[in-house]
Amino acid sequence: MAIITSMVNILVNDTNFDANWAYPSLNEYFTKDSKVVVVPFMHSDEYSSDEEEWDYYFKKGGKIYEKIVAPFKNYGIKEKNITFFHLFKDSSTALETLLNDADVLYLYASQSESMMQNIVDAGIGRLLVQFDGVMICNHAASHVLLEHFDSPYEWEEEEIDGLGLLSDFALMSDYVEDVQHLRRLIRNIEEKGRAVFAFGKDGGVVIHHGHYELLGNAFTVSFDDLDAIYRAYEDAKSRYEYYGSNGLWDE
């Protein structure tokens, strides 16, 4: 695994990184005086394409606002120290000023490919890469930190260029043990020669100075684990044939 930045990267699935599976490990990265900058890019599968829609989700009182600020407040950070960067009102210069004074940067998105395009369009990639504090990313935003990441659509085999902060591994930040996810594990290990970090809703990974810590239900797999992954894949296919719904146990 290659680390290009000295920042602390905290990759999680959702905004529940204040839960018991994460709090003991992450508490050391926050203080009551920490200054947080939030850069939200989209909601659901659609990019917030105009100012009115962005406000609906992300301004104070908006649909997603409290969900985003709540975990930081549970770490003791004052709400007045949490600033949202508005992609449609604020300039890249404004973001640079915010980041120069920030301890924590939180990237929130729900579609990695769209988010990467938004970063390019807004001209803020350099600012994100140069940030040297604690960077937290939810499931879709996490993939953008990689040098290359998979399309969310299985039929698209061409990889997408990311920010290149992390490389030499693949990421599965919405993992469940079903046919689709197990097939992606196999493809990344066999065809691309990459180890994989995987976690679901109650999991994540901290990467700092070339070392990592697994949180919650996170795990890592590599070539040595292929036999076990193939067995799980065959089991999932059997469940799919019997139960449907992609071979999930709980269907």
Q: What does the pLDDT look like over 196-223, one tens digit per residue?
A: 999 999 999 999 988 999 999 999 999 9
* Predicted pLDDT of residue 114: 85
Question: What confidence category does residue 39 fall into, taking pLDDT thresholds of 50, 70 and 90?
Answer: very high
Q: Does domain 2-225 have CATH number 3.40.50.1240?
A: no
* Predicted pLDDT of residue 245: 54
* Predicted pLDDT of residue 152: 66
Q: 60 or 153, which is more confident?
A: 60
Question: What confidence category does residue 117 fall into, taking pLDDT thresholds of 50, 70 and 90?
Answer: confident
User: Percentage of residues in the chain with pLDDT exceeding 70?
Assistant: 87
Question: What confidence category does residue 1 fall into, taking pLDDT thresholds of 50, 70 and 90?
Answer: very low
Structure tokens at 126: 């350099």
Q: What does the pLDDT look like over 219-250, one tens digit per residue?
A: 999 999 999 999 999 998 887 765 555 545 44
Question: What confidence category does residue 159 fall into, taking pLDDT thresholds of 50, 70 and 90?
Answer: confident
Distance CA 241, CA 235 (A): 10
Q: How many CB atoms lie within 10 A of CB 193?
A: 11
Q: 47 or 155, which is more confident?
A: 155
Q: Which amino acid is at 149?
A: F
* Predicted pLDDT of residue 44: 46
In this predicted structure, the answer to whether residue 42 has a pLDDT above a threshold of 90 is: no
Nearest to 173 by CA among 181, 165, 163: 181
Q: List the chain domain ranges.
A: 2-225
Mean pLDDT across 170-187: 92
> In a 3-state reduction of DSSP, which class is residue 204?
strand
Distance CA 58, CA 28 (A): 27
Mean pLDDT across 68-91: 95
* Predicted pLDDT of residue 154: 61
Where b means 16+ CB within 10 Å and e means fewer, 107-128 reads bbbbbbbbbbebbeebebbebb
* Predicted pLDDT of residue 110: 80
Nearest to 140 by CA among 176, 117, 172, 164: 172
